[in-house]
Amino acid sequence: MGKYYFGIDVGGTFIKFGLFDQTGVLLEKWMIPTRLDKKGECILSDLSEAMGNKMRDRGLDGSQMAGIGIGAPGQVDKEGKVLAAENLGWDQVSLAPILEDRMGIPVKAGNDANLAALGEAWKGAGCRDMVLVTVGTGIGCGVVLAGKIHTGMHGAAGELGHIHVEDRLKKKCACGKSGCLEQVASAKGIELCAKYILEESQEPSMLRGQDLSVKKVFDAAKQSDRLAIRTVECFGDYLGKALAMCTCVLDPERIVIGGGVSKAGDIILEYVQKYYRKYAFPACENVQFGLAKLGNDAGVYGAVRMFIEETP
Amino acid sequence: MGKYYFGIDVGGTFIKFGLFDQTGVLLEKWMIPTRLDKKGECILSDLSEAMGNKMRDRGLDGSQMAGIGIGAPGQVDKEGKVLAAENLGWDQVSLAPILEDRMGIPVKAGNDANLAALGEAWKGAGCRDMVLVTVGTGIGCGVVLAGKIHTGMHGAAGELGHIHVEDRLKKKCACGKSGCLEQVASAKGIELCAKYILEESQEPSMLRGQDLSVKKVFDAAKQSDRLAIRTVECFGDYLGKALAMCTCVLDPERIVIGGGVSKAGDIILEYVQKYYRKYAFPACENVQFGLAKLGNDAGVYGAVRMFIEETP
């Protein structure tokens, strides 16, 4: 049996690759741009070529490769077929079967957010029951139970961004409903919240008179700007409440927060935990909280872990 | 190996027993009163005696018994030790080890609400990924994933009754927090809601001038009493919203509603589904809904199923 694995994370801008040994050590990582023209039909040949080149560079043949794990931004079924990945221009693409055929190496495919959660559980937090929530442009989430991804009946498990948290918001979310967590606690949601708070108050704030951004909000809050702090409290209340609901259902070992917004650092944990504890079922009040550790590498780690975990 | 199983459900009023064959058919069921005096210390000997008598009646010896599954109303750890079961007067009781020692038959123990969910999944709904929510004096819940109970890190998975759903409610829940689903959508919650609605309105209603009960509320709603319908809408909104949150996290195959309040019948499903669809993530909108089918037998079925499922 082969000794090496490729882990791949296909994103809308870059395709990230990792070469791993059989103990799960990342030997080398690199990336190539994602070519989105022609409905993303170059992606599969670009993937194969990149892996082929790496194998030649390292003098590896197919028999030394144990497998390929790959993540894509969309719904992926149990056969490794992508059912839809709008960001890549893909409708249905038989991702795993086609790659397996071209490379002559076993391939398993999964959803990228789920694989990021699995990667963080494996090499970031080192635990087997974990929820990863990524707060960026949107709010994504992956659920890992007993060391495996929990996908749910329709691949919709961990759609934490679409938990209903705000009755007063009538504007529609991208999902078609309204009052979703993603509308109020994503990067856009935080900016919107800051805008309202600034408009409603006469207080001075270092956020006034400039373009708002999440970074500016958190930086101002760290400098004790009162309206910025009020915005962060609001974010903490929404996300903390949603995570408390989530632990009432799952009771995980650990909650990890990642995504662009988590770059603000410990202030995120401070405010989310404050409100989490307010709403949480007492037995789950002291669940471990942490920030994601693997950054952009989480997906390639998770892809390899999925391959190892699902191979008998 | 033995051919028969005992399934036992220890409740605060009765202990229910079932004798099952190796294919999971319930051959006979019976119950005895739960003796709560002396901090429930008679319960273990009553259990052993009842099983011993049944084996003698049927001419069965220990070698013909494959195992005993037992559920208790409290937190039960992986070794089958009950950590606390207030309704029985129990602090820590090594339920499974003690029974195993006395009977000479392998014993596995679990939480009663979780076992009811497993029983309904196995013999009621016939599915492997299911959430059972029981609406009675309180709101209980059990989560079955891939045919097994999901207990969570602290045994608190499925504490759906303590999801925060009402910011306006400042009164404390039994859990110590406020605004919990159980406070507004349990039998007591429904009565409280009806009381407010009657007080706030001048409209005539067949609910006026009598003691309120959940049965009367649902009966009046079936007869098109407008204030009763408003109460049922309110219940449907709370429970439907909480279940929509739950499916955003788990994406189960099926949701089953049981407990005393479910005796009102299809009207429960009608109003809960109406609001569930309002709040649910679109991919999960058409999750299967059903009423619990096994009634008081769910626990004994689940206890046996746990034994079979967990035995290598």
Measured between CA atoms, how close is A151 to chain B, in angstroms?
A: 8
- CA distances A190 to A65, A292, A296, B96, Å, are 45, 20, 23, 51
Q: Of A156, A241, A250, which is closest to B284 when you measure between CB atoms?
A: A156
- pLDDT of amino acid A252: 97
Check A159 against B248: CB less than 8 A apart: yes
List CB contacts (< 8 A) between A247 and chain B.
156
Rounded CA gap, B126 and B293, in Å? 11
Quote the tokens at residue B271: 């109003």
- pLDDT of amino acid A74: 85
List CB contacts (< 8 A) between A145 and chain B.
145, 150
List CB contacts (< 8 A) between A162 and chain B.
248, 281
What b-and-e string marks burial along B129-157, b requiring 16 or more CB atoms within 10 Å of the CB? bbbbbbbbebbbbbbbbeebbbbbbbbbb
Check B281 against A177: CB less than 8 A apart: yes
Q: Of A160, A164, A281, which is closest to B162 when you measure between CB atoms?
A: A281
A200 by Cβ neighbours in 10 Å (0-12 / 13-18 / 19+) ranks as exposed
Share of chain A above pLDDT 70, in %: 99
Measured between CA atoms, how close is B162 to chain A, in angstroms?
A: 6
Interface predicted TM-score (ipTM) of this complex, two decimals: 0.90
Cβ pair A181, A165 in contact under 8 A: yes
Mean pLDDT for the stretch of residues A259-270:
96
Residue B85 banded pLDDT, cuts 50, 70, 90 = confident
Mean pLDDT for the stretch of residues A124-133:
96
- pLDDT of amino acid A309: 85
Residue B75 banded pLDDT, cuts 50, 70, 90 = confident
Mean pLDDT for the stretch of residues A92-102:
96
Location of structure tokens 């007080």: B199
- pLDDT of amino acid A163: 96
Q: Of B156, B158, B253, which is closest to A153 when you measure between CB atoms?
A: B253
- pLDDT of amino acid B155: 85
Contact residues for A74 (Cβ-Cβ < 8 A; gap 6+): A82, A83, A84, A85, A86, A87, A88, A90, A111
What is the SS3 string spanning chain A?
Answer: CCCEEEEEEECCCEEEEEEEECCCCEEEEEEEECCCHHHHCCHHHHHHHHHHHHHHHHCCCHHHEEEEEEEECCEECCCCCEEEEHHHCECCECHHHHHHHHHCCCEEEEEHHHHHHHHHHHHHHCCCCEEEEEECCCEEEEEEECCEECCCCCCCCCCHHHCECCCCCCCECCCCCECEHHHHHCHHHHHHHHHHHHHHCCCCCCCCCCCCCHHHHHHHHHCCCHHHHHHHHHHHHHHHHHHHHHHHHHCCCEEEEECHHHHHCHHHHHHHHHHHHHHCCHHHCCCEEEECCCHHHHHHHHHHHHHHHHCC
Residue B32 banded pLDDT, cuts 50, 70, 90 = very high
Mean pLDDT for the stretch of residues A69-96:
90
